[in-house]
Amino acid sequence: MSAVQVARATADRLTAADAAGLNATLHWSRALLETEAARIDSMPVPGPLAAVPIAVKDNIVTLDMPTTCASRMLEGYVSPYEASVVRRLREAGALVAAKTNLDEFAMGSSTEHSAFGRVRHPLDADRVPGGSSGGSAALVAAGVVPAALGSETGGSVRQPASFCGIVGVKPSYGRVSRYGLVAFGSSLDCVSVFGRTVDDASRVLAVISGHDPLDNTSLDHPPIAPPAPRPGLGGLRIGLPREYYPADLDAGVAAALARTQAVARALGAELVEVSLPHTCYAVPTYYVVAPAEAAANLARYDGVRYGQRRVGPEGDIEALYQATRGHGFGPEVKRRILIGTYVLSAGYYDAYYARAQRVRALVADDFRRAFEGGVDLLLTPTTPTPAFRAGEKTGDPVSMYLADVFVCAVSLAGLPAVSIPAGRSDGLPVGAQLIAPLLSDERLLAAAGALERALSADAEVR
Amino acid sequence: MSIGRDEVLHVARLAELAVDEADLDRLVEQLNRIVDYVAQLESAPADAGAERLLPGPPAARLREDVPGPVPLARPPAAFAPEFAEGFFLVPRHGAMEGP
């Protein structure tokens, strides 16, 4: 099949998804798809992703489509340069199909905080697809594209992957270039990948990973090689952190994880209980560190450097900044900027930000001790519940933040992790999370692939 | 610790963020909820001498401050309303005009 034929079929699926009200896309066009397809068909040597349609979260800059971060602040903005990950996708022959909806500036866990409307869960329109990369997750889950790029700061790919019943991979911090990913929390941000299968996601990761001199946090490390299929999990010790299996865990999630553990044992893995004692501090640490970095990173949206300018009532430059930012940012972004400014301000810096950075080291040290203690991987639930209903948590920010309770410690530590579908509870997908030591992305993907092949992702677990 | 209306308005000014009076009470309530939640860090065993975590390669922390080429797909002149002698030309802002 030619790339032009793939482009036409992809455009038909995108049209159907938009018509169904998924609200997962922010920009795409049939004409752009066909132009891209013609370029791919003329490539002298087909690349490793030749004519594979891939959607891109709209906080990753592209030359041929706007990049809005789902914010009124950047409505209509077109970047003068392209993200390294997008350039690598195009060079590999991929068809960049659409820019996808997200929580504004990637701040959220439900994709309800988009200035352009919430994304619907593909299986139940009354529920959320997770977030912040909910548009990318929904497009993959709905079968519109086989893979998509998202971004993680505190679990924004693994959590929606779990809610939508697909695979979501966060690589080790530094293995995929951040050049062209709009900055939110720079010490946490990580371009990450959704796929229908671990194999699909691994093929995309192989293309976009590897050293990039344009990102000074990029590791001088080779690309993540797609793992050779392993027949089982023999020889692996998998830790079960007791803090991730609380007594009040949702019954469907608990049942899905019990089944995943049984499958892992049947595949030859040895399962042992371990402890990550500072886990309870991960979410509060994240909600100091990430807003502090966000407050600094989003200072550039002032109507002068970036952003839709509004002139304030006093007509001076201060009023211009305040009116531009007050009007351009939505409620969740404003909350985070205010919290970030507060924890960095004189008198509170040591009590909040400096302390959070030290607690972050404790959280990371828990993982290091577990792995040095002889555990190869960790197995946990990805989320405490299946997808929740739209509007259920928007009135209480802390309740929303706790949807990330099992994913954000990994982000604080910079580790690689994957969510794979582990079954369904009352028809809703449940994800299982595997976590690996830093730079052990290949081991992680190989084990996840073996587990995925043995699990029946669509089976009811209770 | 609780944050009052005046402190929220002070932080908003530091953040260059206009806050509508109609939203203020709700914002104060939500910010207090968040600050109360993150206050549990006080009980973490992390004294002032403890190590902080800096992710990424050591080379990322201090690199040579040498300007390099900016790989723009289009030159700055292509996306500026007016551009001359290496500078963007913009209208004078009202508040900055001289007598």
Reply yes or no on whether A393 is catalytic.
no
Report CA A398 to chain centroid distance, whole Å.
Answer: 20
Interface touch A214/B71, C-beta < 8 Å: yes
Interface touch A341/B11, C-beta < 8 Å: yes
Q: Helix or strand or coil: residue A415? A: coil
Which residues does A124 contact at the CB level (< 8 Å), separation at least 6? Answer: A387, A427, A428
* The predicted structure's pLDDT at residue B64: 66
Helix or strand (DSSP H, E) at A258: helix A251-266
Q: Helix or strand or coil: residue A167? A: strand
Chain B residue numbers touching A281 (CB-CB < 8 A): 40-41, 44
Calculate how close chain A gets to B69, using CA atoms only, in Å. Answer: 10
Q: Is there a contact between A403 and A277 (Cβ–Cβ < 8 Å)? A: no
Phi, psi of B10 (to 5 degrees): -65, -45
pLDDT over 70 percentage in chain B: 82
Please tell me which residue in A71, A132, A136, A440 is annotated as part of the active site.
A132
Interface touch B52/A358, C-beta < 8 Å: yes
Quickly count: other Cβ atoms within 10 Å of residue A27's Cβ: 18
Confidence at A83, pLDDT banded by 50, 70, 90: very high
Query: Among candidates B30, A103, B2, A69, which has minimal Cα distance to B19?
Result: B30
> Among A217, A355, A397, whose Cβ lies nearest the Cβ of B30?
A397
> Among A316, A342, A359, whose Cβ lies nearest the Cβ of B95?
A316
Q: Between A and B, how many residue pairs show a Cβ–Cβ distance under 8 A? A: 154
pLDDT at A391 over 90: yes
Angstrom CA distances, A35 to A40, A80, A96, stand at 9, 19, 11
Lowest mean pLDDT among A153-157, A253-257, A399-403: A399-403
Q: Helix or strand or coil: residue A147? A: strand
Calculate how close chain B gets to A289, using CA atoms only, in Å. Answer: 11
Interface touch A81/B71, C-beta < 8 Å: yes
Please tell me which residue in A84, A109, A136, A156 is annotated as part of the active site.
A156
Q: What angle do CA A132, A133, A137 make, to 5 degrees?
A: 135
User: Residue A97 has which token pair?
Assistant: 């199909």
Taking only the tens place, the pLDDT of each residue in A178-219 is: 999 999 999 999 999 999 999 999 999 999 999 999 998 999
Q: Helix or strand or coil: residue A343? A: helix
> Among A173, A325, A360, whose Cβ lies nearest the Cβ of B17?
A325
Reply yes or no on whether A42 is catalytic.
no
User: Residue A207 has which token pair?
Assistant: 């293309």
Calculate how close chain B gets to A212, using CA atoms only, in Å. Answer: 12
Query: Among candidates B53, B42, B57, which has minimal Cα distance to A360?
Result: B53
Report CA A145 to chain centroid distance, whole Å.
Answer: 16
* The predicted structure's pLDDT at residue B99: 47
Taking only the tens place, the pLDDT of each residue in A232-245 is: 999 999 999 999 99
User: Residue A203 has which token pair?
Assistant: 């093929």
- Cα(A441)–Cα(A443) distance, integer angstroms: 6
- Cα(A320)–Cα(A304) distance, integer angstroms: 9
Confidence at B1, pLDDT banded by 50, 70, 90: low
β pairing state of A190-195 and A147-152? antiparallel
Helix or strand (DSSP H, E) at A285: helix A282-297
pLDDT at A332 over 60: yes
> Among A187, A281, A361, whose Cβ lies nearest the Cβ of B41?
A281
Interface touch A295/B27, C-beta < 8 Å: no
Cα nearest neighbour of B78 on chain A: A80
pLDDT over 70 percentage in chain A: 100
Calculate how close chain A gets to B72, using CA atoms only, in Å. Answer: 5
Chain A residue numbers touching B77 (CB-CB < 8 A): none
* The predicted structure's pLDDT at residue A105: 98
* The predicted structure's pLDDT at residue A314: 79
Query: Among candidates A100, A109, A64, A94, which has minimal Cα distance to A205?
Result: A94
pLDDT over 90 percentage in chain A: 92
* The predicted structure's pLDDT at residue B58: 66
> Among A187, A299, A339, whose Cβ lies nearest the Cβ of B34?
A339
Chain B residue numbers touching A341 (CB-CB < 8 A): 11, 14-15
Query: Among candidates A186, A185, A155, A187, which has minimal Cα distance to A170?
Result: A155
Q: Helix or strand or coil: residue A60? A: strand
Only one residue has tokens 């982000």, namely: A411
Helix or strand (DSSP H, E) at A16: helix A3-19
Interface touch A325/B33, C-beta < 8 Å: no
Angstrom CA distances, A195 to A154, A157, A165, A167, A386, stand at 19, 11, 10, 5, 19
pLDDT at A104 over 50: yes
pLDDT at B96 over 70: no
Interface touch A217/B56, C-beta < 8 Å: yes
User: Residue A217 has which token pair?
Assistant: 């946090």
- Cα(A363)–Cα(A361) distance, integer angstroms: 5
Cα nearest neighbour of A362 on chain B: B46
Chain A residue numbers touching B48 (CB-CB < 8 A): 350, 354
* The predicted structure's pLDDT at residue A303: 94
Chain A residue numbers touching B44 (CB-CB < 8 A): 278, 281, 355, 358-359, 362
- Cα(A408)–Cα(A203) distance, integer angstroms: 25
Name the percent of chain A in helix, strand, coil, to the closest 5. 40, 15, 45
Lowest mean pLDDT among A49-53, A302-306, A348-352, B72-76: B72-76
* The predicted structure's pLDDT at residue A279: 97
Interface touch A174/B42, C-beta < 8 Å: no
Taking only the tens place, the pLDDT of each residue in A135-175 is: 999 999 999 999 999 999 999 999 999 999 999 999 999 99
Confidence at B61, pLDDT banded by 50, 70, 90: low
Reply yes or no on whether A114 is catalytic.
no
Query: Among candidates A162, A167, A164, which has minimal Cα distance to A142?
Result: A164
User: Residue A396 has which token pair?
Assistant: 């209480």
Query: Among candidates A171, A189, A168, which has minimal Cα distance to A180?
Result: A189
- Cα(B7)–Cα(A108) distance, integer angstroms: 25
Cα nearest neighbour of B15 on chain A: A341
Taking only the tens place, the pLDDT of each residue in A25-45 is: 999 999 999 999 999 999 999
- Cα(B99)–Cα(B90) distance, integer angstroms: 19
- Cα(A435)–Cα(A410) distance, integer angstroms: 8
> Among B12, B46, B60, whose Cβ lies nearest the Cβ of A359?
B46
Chain B residue numbers touching A280 (CB-CB < 8 A): 40
- Cα(A217)–Cα(A187) distance, integer angstroms: 9
The sign one gets for the Cα dihedral A441, A444, A447, A449 is negative
Quickly count: other Cβ atoms within 10 Å of residue B96's Cβ: 8
Interface touch B44/A278, C-beta < 8 Å: yes
Cα nearest neighbour of B20 on chain A: A326
